[in-house]
């Protein structure tokens, strides 16, 4: 068991894996992990070996090399970043060398404990999938055997590339599962549908890159605001959906209203850091019943979404 100091806890909080996650969700799990001290030149992961751990850099830095340590590094891993996720989750042999660049303290997260964290928090799993997606689409994808790795990391196909939320195809699958469970258990579930107000005008006046930044910011708000039991995804364009298992329309309204306010307050910035205009959303809610089909529930949420727009936008209707 490790005792983490303030600087180490700050490094964990800044890590993409735990971004926007309540520390109480992961702190106990991580304090059960060991802290490894290393010196420059130490090889952490080697090509062709089985890697069983994800390493979070608490101090110092690492470098990643293709094939051998003598090749030019393709990436530097700094404080708050992780390495080893691909081979851990894919249960494959490492395809690159990870070497200590500066003296490091590394939090060692075993495969079993990483999976435990993923199961414990949907937001952690979403953050992890977003990290893995970055790997796939970055210049570093050269060293990934995509025909094998991507097959093992099936979750990547569930993501929307812009926002990091699950995509329409996965939303449809989850909706069908939740609907089936609801019919069997008799417990209600709700669906929230939301749409960015005047988004075409936003794109026309600010540009499509600004529009993308607005959608990315909205995706971040969704991740921060939905409850751990809920699932948020991009339905298409500027429209998003949240599935709320075992929740009534009244429960959903509380989530929706909190979300609406958070979106309105969210600061949006261009890629260069310049401020952009904020956005608002209109929200509609649908609730299941014993007599409703899944299509009826979605239509109910969609109709309430348009009711919110007709009511002046930036509001919720159920």
Burial class (CB in 10 A: 0-12, 13-18, 19+), 20: middle
304, 284 in Cβ contact below 8 A?
yes
268, 284 in Cβ contact below 8 A?
no
Q: How far apart are CA 304 and CA 291, in angstroms?
A: 19
Annotated catalytic, 170? Answer: no
Between helices 23-31 and 6-13, what is the axis angle to 10°?
120
Q: In this structure, what are the phi and psi dihedrals at residue 101, rounded to the nearest 5 degrees?
A: -95, -45
Q: In the structure encoding, which two tokens stand for residue 92, read together?
A: 């494959």
> Which is the catalytic residue, given 32, 238, 239, 264?
238
In which element (H, E) is residue 115 found? helix 111-120
In which element (H, E) is residue 111 found? helix 111-120
191, 244 in Cβ contact below 8 A?
yes
Q: In the structure encoding, which two tokens stand for residue 135, read together?
A: 């790997």
Q: In the structure encoding, which two tokens stand for residue 276, read together?
A: 């952009």
Q: In the chain, what is the straight-line distance between the N-terminal and C-terminal CA atoms, in Å?
A: 49
Question: Catalytic residue numbers?
Answer: 238
């Amino acid at each position: 068991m490790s005792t983490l100091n303030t600087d180490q806890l700050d490094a964990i909080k800044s890590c993409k894996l735990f971004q926007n996650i309540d520390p109480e969700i992961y702190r106990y799990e991580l304090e059960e992990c060991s802290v490894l001290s290393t010196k420059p030149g130490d090889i952490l992961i080697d090509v062709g070996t089985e890697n069983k751990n994800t390493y979070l850099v608490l101090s110092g830095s690492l470098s990643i090399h293709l094939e051998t340590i003598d090749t030019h590094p393709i990436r530097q891993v700094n404080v708050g970043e992780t390495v080893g996720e691909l081979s851990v989750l894919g249960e494959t042999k490492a395809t690159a060398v990870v070497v200590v660049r500066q003296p490091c303290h590394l939090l060692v997260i075993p495969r079993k404990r990483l999976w435990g964290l993923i199961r414990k928090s949907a937001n952690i799993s979403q953050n992890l999938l977003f990290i893995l997606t970055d790997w796939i689409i970055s210049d570093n994808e050269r060293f990934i055997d995509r025909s094998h790795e991507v097959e093992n990391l099936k979750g990547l196909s569930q993501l929307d590339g812009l926002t990091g939320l699950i995509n329409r195809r996965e939303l449809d699958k989850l909706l069908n599962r939740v609907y089936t469970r609801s019919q069997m258990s008799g417990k209600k579930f709700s669906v929230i549908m939301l749409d960015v107000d005047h988004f075409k005008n936003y794109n026309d006046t600010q540009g499509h890159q600004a529009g993308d930044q607005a959608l990315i910011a909205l995706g971040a708000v969704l991740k921060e605001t939905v409850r751990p039991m809920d699932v948020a995804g991009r339905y298409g364009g500027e429209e998003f959906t949240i599935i709320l298992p075992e929740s009534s329309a009244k429960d959903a309204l509380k989530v929706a209203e909190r979300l609406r306010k958070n979106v309105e307050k969210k600061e949006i910035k261009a890629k260069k850091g310049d401020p952009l205009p904020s956005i608002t959303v209109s929200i509609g809610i649908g609730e299941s019943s014993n007599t409703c089909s899944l299509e009826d529930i979605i239509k109910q949420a969609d109709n309430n979404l348009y009711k919110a727009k007709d009511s002046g936008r930036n509001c919720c209707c159920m």
